[in-house]
Amino acid sequence: MTTVRDLVIVGAGAAGLSAAAEARELGLDALVLDEQPEPGGQVYRSVARVAERRPADLAFLGADYARGAELVAASTGGERRQGATVWQIGPAGRDGSREVIWSEAGAARRVLARTVLVASGAMERPVPVPGWTLPGVTTVGALQVALKQSAIYPAGRVVIAGSGPLPLLLAEQLRAARVPVAAILDTTPSGRTAKALPLLPAAALGAPDTLRKGLALLKARDRSGVPVWRHVREVRAEAGSDGALATVRFRTASGDEETVEADLLALHEGVVPNPQLTRLVAAEHRWHAAQRCFHPVTDPWGETTAAGVYVAGDGGGTLGARAAEASGRLAVLAAASRLERLTEAARDFRADPWQSRLRGERALRRLLDVMYPAPDWIAAPADEAVVCRCEEVTAGELRAVAGHAAGPNQAKAYLRCGMGPCQGRLCGLTVTEMIARARGTTPAETGYYRIRAPIKPVTLDEIASLDSEDAA
């Protein structure tokens, strides 16, 4: 017999951990499944181990990171499985419960869940610049992961290119760890501060702490002595004779071409929801024009249009770690009320502080959306840029068929883009935008790849293990 749980939480980041804490406080039978070896997700990656074994590193990783250890501690008590990759959330059965299937240590396992919380987080926006596939080019987040998980840093000439809060945070973490940075290429277009100014009062009122820290990061970068190029465009990575990254070429604010030599280039153009699980359950998604990505449509508690499936944290739309904690709590309160384990009055009472935190962080996000706009060149990458990294489909090849493709799924059939192991995570948004541009329609009308289980590659052995479990 397969067990039926009140709630299965996918992801043990800020959202999933605070959801687990709320579920425990409410006495729900919850199971947390997370594919990383340790809890913490992206922001709080490895935090419990770092706090215990490498406490000195907390000094450069920052107080906000250290706070994640409290979150991990508060979430314990219920069942949490690390190294558990969820690859299927089935349709609702007659009693409304859904089958959740995951792989763990080489075998597949399943449970039935009355409610499911997708807290699988966000990913950095794919940035198809020429040369982004070269060894030596990573995301900004990857360098943070390396620092947190393994206390390793890139030696040699490090170039950070991009826009948004995360490159600022990385620059500060590297400075505090005394890791030299050769250059920062800030791709934020000019004139954004003036445009964002009218949104400042609401952000200052709503999320004063987060805003203050952001401004401090900006100041720290500009005082750090690292050369900063502003309003940079047309970044491209070029290989040396060994086939790895050697040079970063870009256009300056005044339109001149410049180059810097680099051993490592870290790219970042904002964060977008990791869409696989909300797409898998066929929840409705809406195009967010300012962030240039799809968000799952939800009610105020985070319930998607797939009944009983909630989304919390940055998988529902980028709002950052503090907001993820709040939305994780809110989704569990709604699920508990749905399961008739909590009256609506009690739900609303407990929800109040989290709702007000969420409102505040949303006000800040509106400011950030204007300060750091999602890049519009994504709809028109250079011809030679690889769009689908797995199958090596270039922007030029895609452009040649984009006008005739009814949508991303047809482009996939023509070119194999989105058919590799990443299953379109690193090309989906680009393909949508390029087709929309070619056909003169909107990304909303163009849609996205159809996502089917398994959302991560699964071996036949793992599938077989599921059958033998049934036989037993």
* Residues near ligand FAD (CB under 6 A): 10-16, 33-36, 41-43, 85-86, 119-124, 141, 144, 166, 169, 271, 277, 313-315, 320-321, 324
Query: For residue 44, with 0-12 CB atoms within 10 Å meaning exposed, 13-18 middle and 19 or more buried, which class applies?
Result: buried
Whether cis (ω within 30° of 0) applies to the bond prior to 454 is yes
Q: At what angle do helices 428-439 and 395-402 cross, to 10 degrees?
A: 40
Query: For residue 5, with 0-12 CB atoms within 10 Å meaning exposed, 13-18 middle and 19 or more buried, which class applies?
Result: buried
E strand segments, 225-329: 228-229, 233-239, 245-251, 257-261, 264-269, 271-273, 285-288, 293-296, 309-311
Could you say which of another protein, ligand FAD, none residue 420 binds, taking C-beta under 5 to 8 angstroms by partner kind? another protein
Q: How far is the CB of 77 from another protein (least distance, A)?
A: 24
Nearer to ligand FAD, 110 or 233 (CB): 110
- As beta bridge partners, residue 113 has 5, 98
Our finding on whether 141 is near another protein (CB under 8 A) is yes
Our finding on whether 421 is near another protein (CB under 8 A) is yes
Return the residue of 18, 36, 115, 291 that touches another protein, per CB under 8 A: 36
DSSP 237: E
Our finding on whether 22 is near another protein (CB under 8 A) is no
Return the residue of 88, 97, 139, 430 that touches another protein, per CB under 8 A: 139
Our finding on whether 66 is near another protein (CB under 8 A) is no
Of 71-79, 129-137, 375-383, 442-450, which part binds another protein (CB under 8 A)?
A: 129-137
Nearer to ligand FAD, 118 or 196 (CB): 118
Per the CB < 8 A criterion, the answer to whether 48 and 25 are in contact is no
- What CA–CA distances, in Å, run from 282 to 217, 275, 367, 425, 436? 39, 11, 31, 16, 21
Q: How far is the CB of 272 from ligand FAD (least distance, A)?
A: 9
Our finding on whether 278 is near another protein (CB under 8 A) is no
Q: How far is the CB of 121 from ligand FAD (least distance, A)?
A: 2
Nearer to ligand FAD, 269 or 314 (CB): 314
Q: How many CB atoms lie within 10 A of CB 405?
A: 21
Q: How far is the CB of 389 from another protein (least distance, A)?
A: 7
Our finding on whether 133 is near another protein (CB under 8 A) is yes
| CA 354, 357, 359, 361 torsion-angle sign | negative
Our finding on whether 419 is near another protein (CB under 8 A) is no
User: What DSSP assignment string belongs to 106-149?
Assistant: TEEEEEEEEEEEE---EEEPP---TTTTSTTEEEHHHHHHHHHH
Tokens of 222: 């500009």
Euclidean distance between CA atoms 428 and 292, whole angstroms: 12
Could you say which of another protein, ligand FAD, none residue 43 binds, taking C-beta under 5 to 8 angstroms by partner kind? ligand FAD
Tokens of 256: 């001149």
Footprint on residues 142-161 left by another protein (CB under 8 A): 142, 145-147, 149-156
Our finding on whether 107 is near another protein (CB under 8 A) is no
Euclidean distance between CA atoms 417 and 400, whole angstroms: 13
Nearer to ligand FAD, 33 or 51 (CB): 33
Our finding on whether 201 is near another protein (CB under 8 A) is no
Per the CB < 8 A criterion, the answer to whether 439 and 402 are in contact is yes
Footprint on residues 303-362 left by another protein (CB under 8 A): none
Task: Name the residues that contact another protein, by CB under 8 A.
Answer: 35-38, 42, 46, 49, 53-54, 56-57, 83, 85, 123-124, 133, 135-139, 141-142, 145-147, 149-156, 177, 242-245, 263-264, 274, 389-392, 420-422, 425-426, 454, 457-460
